[in-house]
Structure 1
Amino acid sequence: MDHFLYRDGRLMAEDVDLAQIAQEVGTPCYVYSAATLTRHYQVFEDALAGMDHLICFAMKSLSNVAVLKLLGDLGAGMDVVSGGEYARARAAGVPGERIVFSGVGKTAEEMALALDGGVRQFNVESEPELRLLSEVAAGMGATAPITLRVNPDVDAQTHEKIATGRKTDKFGVPIDRARDIYALAASLPGIEVIGIDVHIGSQLTSLEPFEQAYLRVADLTHQLRAEGHTIKRLDLGGGLGIPYARDNNAPPLPADLGALIKRTVGDLGCEIEIEPGRLISGNAGVLLSKVLYLKEESDHRWLILDAAMNDLVRPAMYGAHHDIVPLVEPAAGSEMTPVDVVGPVCESGDTFAKARTLPPLKAGDVVAFRSAGAYAAVMASEYNSRPLVPEVLVSGDHHAVIRARPTIDDMLARDTIPEWL
């Protein structure tokens, strides 16, 4: 469910007309619904009711500090994968004891930052990382709580670029080596073993891969406890998919995932962490873009927008589908025609959709890309020297710019010309 609905023929974000935002802020721009973010977080809370748990929002999906504060105030923890994300979480008021530090390439500086500022745990992904974390923590006179991310060799049946749980993926350690690495962790100074971490991929549309992974984690929990390790927390990752397209099969609901967690690991007496990102933020955002031109040649038509692949890279990078809808609701029976929807970047890959059936649109009309709250603004760039896209948060009948659009002068000011040129 989201809060982007037509009302009296106008596409609204909660109680705000999106056309008003497009006019005030300009296009392209991202718009997020606070009510949708809140509802999606609460759905996960309800799914894990009765279990000791923490829901850690996967910040890599959407990292605007205002959004993080909204979720943090609801009680969410944060799953971070860089020092910058850690700093954003703290700037949003999220305490260190609710921040989980993940990622395969943590630096010594990032480890020290989190140890100094407070951290719930490090999800360690390799033996070299474990040794470095021990060295950093011991040098600071600190203790680093850790889980080890185990790779259960489960095919998540998702896109090649977002699968993370197979033996050929870069993430985690093979589950059959986990016991040896836990023994090493127990012997190292500055390290406290507290649990197990697993995450097998993103945009999963079936519960079967989750069940396979969780059952393997349950078996490992019994083995590690028998060898004297304290396993009191299970970080079960995220990855539950959302419906990006109307013709997709509906993914399982968070309630279904919650029931699976209770059935597979609920009897272990562990605190449960999950790290949803896309399912909280994906359908909570839209990208607004203005039509620049309708180009027609022979029997081919292109709708050229002012948004581009640098603003929303998912279609170019993943072949992702986003529903594209006009801000003015088409009249019943409007003629629908196929058109390629493209941006102005000088790349053939700057194509959002091919032969997409849309109602009549003309220069100056504004459209919305639905399901653009996750892996959208966070992946934007200044390719072709195009300023980053602003972000707007809506709550009821209020809205505010939560990231302003940089000017071209702002971009130029970051470059310097050396004296010898």
Structure 2
Amino acid sequence: MTTEGPPIRRLADWDAAALRDRADEYGTPLYVLDQQRVRENVAALRAAFHDEEISYAVKANTVRATLETVAETGLSAECASAGELQRAADAGFDRVRYTAVNPPAGDLDHVVELAADPSREDLDLVITVGAADAFEALARRGYDGPLAIRVNPGVGAGHHAKVTTGDAPKFGVPYDRVSELASEIVDRGFDLVGLHAHAGSGIHDEADLAAHRELVSRMGDLARELGHGLDFLNVGGGLGVPYRPEEEPLDLDSVAEATREAAGELDVRLGIEPGRYVVADAGVLLTTVNTVKPTPETTVVGVDAGMTTLLRPAMYDAYHEIQTLAPDAGERDPITAMIAGPICETADVLGRDRELPRPERGDVLAIGNAGAYGYEMASNYNSRPRPAVVSIGGGEPRLAVERETLSDLTRLEVEQ
């Protein structure tokens, strides 16, 4: 597998003319996903974490074309819902873990049925439980396959409080109760094969990395303490990428070595589960300028993408680089602008105080690092159809997800 490509793909690295062609052909808003960049990111992870099992955190991007690309690289899949598990299995993953949080009954029913499906006998499935209740619910359903325990190690990290999981009570069995649950699982004849923990999402700065190392250290101690014949210790993902142009990418080799050192000597295989790192810089969002409105505070540049297309800025105050694709951009005077969407919410802003060549109606803007949690978090709020997705980097560009229509919005409604 090739490892060519820069450590991170900046927005300026994309071919502006090719992106304009995609916008002309498919319209906007439009996600463009580059499968070759996905392969490069997986190769970089493999080069650094050469002895560890790498699982793809499916929730970062479940577009079928991307799932198939990741499956072809040989990574396993980490799934947070029955829907993600079904998508991963259908896309060709042969090793999957179902690590749900407070799984609904319907999800458990579907997962247990999938585990027992004779047509899926080649599917290596492990279910991870984050509470004793979840274990009991599986036992009542007759599940007798391998189990892992999600641990709450009391250490969290991430780019925002809303995605810091390792110390949040919602996630995992409290650290000091894991041994008791492990013993019960084994005593009742179940196959306990692993432990799992996850600090959070978007781990990038030194404070986050220090917290990650502390989590790994605690989990290494726990794995040695249990001694229940475990097969693996998964210490989560969350590896961040630089969203701002001035930020440097992670030194993957250093992160991998620090992870191994923090885990210590183990009789089990160490594993990680990156999602964002695999797909973030493999995607851009294209959007068209609808209005340009000077105001006393700023120039508001209205575009056809908004918080229903890319939620991260409204949800997490996240920064995404924005550039114009106008061919004559270099001839225009720069202005400072707010890039705002069409949703009736003050929060519907994709970027504030951004310097752009003076925008004009009809310009296409590109929004970078949109491959992770972009299309995945799109919604129909304000009855807005979700965008289309185009896949490139594997032959000719092809439509991966059709654009929703207004009739799609009411297709499931029942007339009274």
Q: TM-score, normalised by structure 2?
A: 0.91
Distance 1:40 1:407, change over 3 A: same
State the 1:70 CA deviation.
0.7
Query: 1:100 is matched with which residue: 85, 97, 100?
Result: 97
What does 1:181-260 align with in structure 2 at a 5 Å threshold?
181-189=181-189, 191-205=190-204, 206=206, 207-225=209-227, 229-248=228-247, 250=248, 252-260=250-258
Query: 1:133 is matched with which residue: 116, 135, 138?
Result: 138
Q: Say which SS state the counterpart of residue 413 (structure 1) adopts.
A: coil
Counterpart residue type for residue 82 of structure 2: G
- Structure 1 gap ranges (5+): none
User: Residues 122 and 146 of structure 1 are in contact (CA less than 8 Å); yes or no, is this contact kept in structure 2?
Assistant: yes
The more displaced of 23-32 and 402-411 is 402-411
Distance 1:396 1:93 in 2: 17
The residue aligned with 1:363 is 361
User: Residues 300 and 340 of structure 2 are in contact (CA less than 8 Å); yes or no, is this contact kept in structure 1?
Assistant: yes
What does 1:22-421 align with in structure 2 at a 5 Å threshold?
22-49=23-50, 51=51, 53-95=52-94, 98-106=95-103, 107=105, 108-116=108-116, 117=120, 118-136=123-141, 139=142, 142-156=143-157, 158-166=159-167, 168-189=168-189, 191-205=190-204, 206=206, 207-225=209-227, 229-248=228-247, 250=248, 252-265=250-263, 267-328=265-326, 335-395=333-393, 398-418=396-416
The residue aligned with 2:3 is none
Q: Say which SS state the counterpart of residue 148 (structure 1) adopts.
A: strand
Instruction: Output one character per residue of 1:221-279: Cα deviation in whole Å (capped at 9) or x when no partner.
Output: 22111xxx11221111101111011234x353322222123223363132222110001
User: Residues 100 and 123 of structure 1 are in contact (CA less than 8 Å); yes or no, is this contact kept in structure 2?
Assistant: yes
Distance 2:376 2:217 in 1: 33
State the 1:69 CA deviation.
0.5
Counterpart residue type for residue 40 of structure 1: N
RMSD, aligned α-carbons: 2.0
Q: Say which SS state the counterpart of residue 328 (structure 1) adopts.
A: coil
Distance 1:342 1:3, change over 3 A: same
User: Residues 10 and 281 of structure 2 are in contact (CA less than 8 Å); yes or no, is this contact kept in structure 1?
Assistant: no
Counterpart residue type for residue 137 of structure 2: L
Distance 1:244 1:385, change over 3 A: same
Distance 1:223 1:240 in 2: 27
Q: Say which SS state the counterpart of residue 309 (structure 2) adopts.
A: coil
Q: Say which SS state the counterpart of residue 284 (structure 2) adopts.
A: strand
Distance 2:195 2:19 in 1: 44
Counterpart residue type for residue 182 of structure 2: Y
1:12 equivalent to 2:11? Answer no
User: Residues 44 and 254 of structure 1 are in contact (CA less than 8 Å); yes or no, is this contact kept in structure 2?
Assistant: yes
State the 1:283 CA deviation.
0.8
Distance 1:365 1:246 in 2: 22
User: Residues 291 and 304 of structure 1 are in contact (CA less than 8 Å); yes or no, is this contact kept in structure 2?
Assistant: yes
Q: Say which SS state the counterpart of residue 147 (structure 1) adopts.
A: strand
User: Residues 133 and 144 of structure 1 are in contact (CA less than 8 Å); yes or no, is this contact kept in structure 2?
Assistant: no
Distance 2:89 2:180 in 1: 34
State the 1:127 CA deviation.
0.8
State the 1:334 CA deviation.
5.2
Q: TM-score, normalised by structure 1?
A: 0.90
Q: Say which SS state the counterpart of residue 243 (structure 1) adopts.
A: coil
Distance 1:47 1:32 in 2: 24
Residue identity over aligned pairs, in percent, reads 31
Distance 1:126 1:251, change over 3 A: farther
Distance 1:374 1:300 in 2: 30
User: Residues 31 and 287 of structure 1 are in contact (CA less than 8 Å); yes or no, is this contact kept in structure 2?
Assistant: yes
Counterpart residue type for residue 306 of structure 1: D
Q: Say which SS state the counterpart of residue 144 (structure 1) adopts.
A: coil
Q: Say which SS state the counterpart of residue 40 (structure 1) adopts.
A: helix
Moved over 4 A (4+): 2-7, 329-334
State the 1:367 CA deviation.
0.5
State the 1:332 CA deviation.
5.4
User: Residues 294 and 303 of structure 1 are in contact (CA less than 8 Å); yes or no, is this contact kept in structure 2?
Assistant: yes
State the 1:5 CA deviation.
6.3
Q: Say which SS state the counterpart of residue 155 (structure 2) adopts.
A: coil
Distance 1:59 1:157 in 2: 18
Distance 1:186 1:398 in 2: 52
User: Residues 82 and 110 of structure 1 are in contact (CA less than 8 Å); yes or no, is this contact kept in structure 2?
Assistant: no
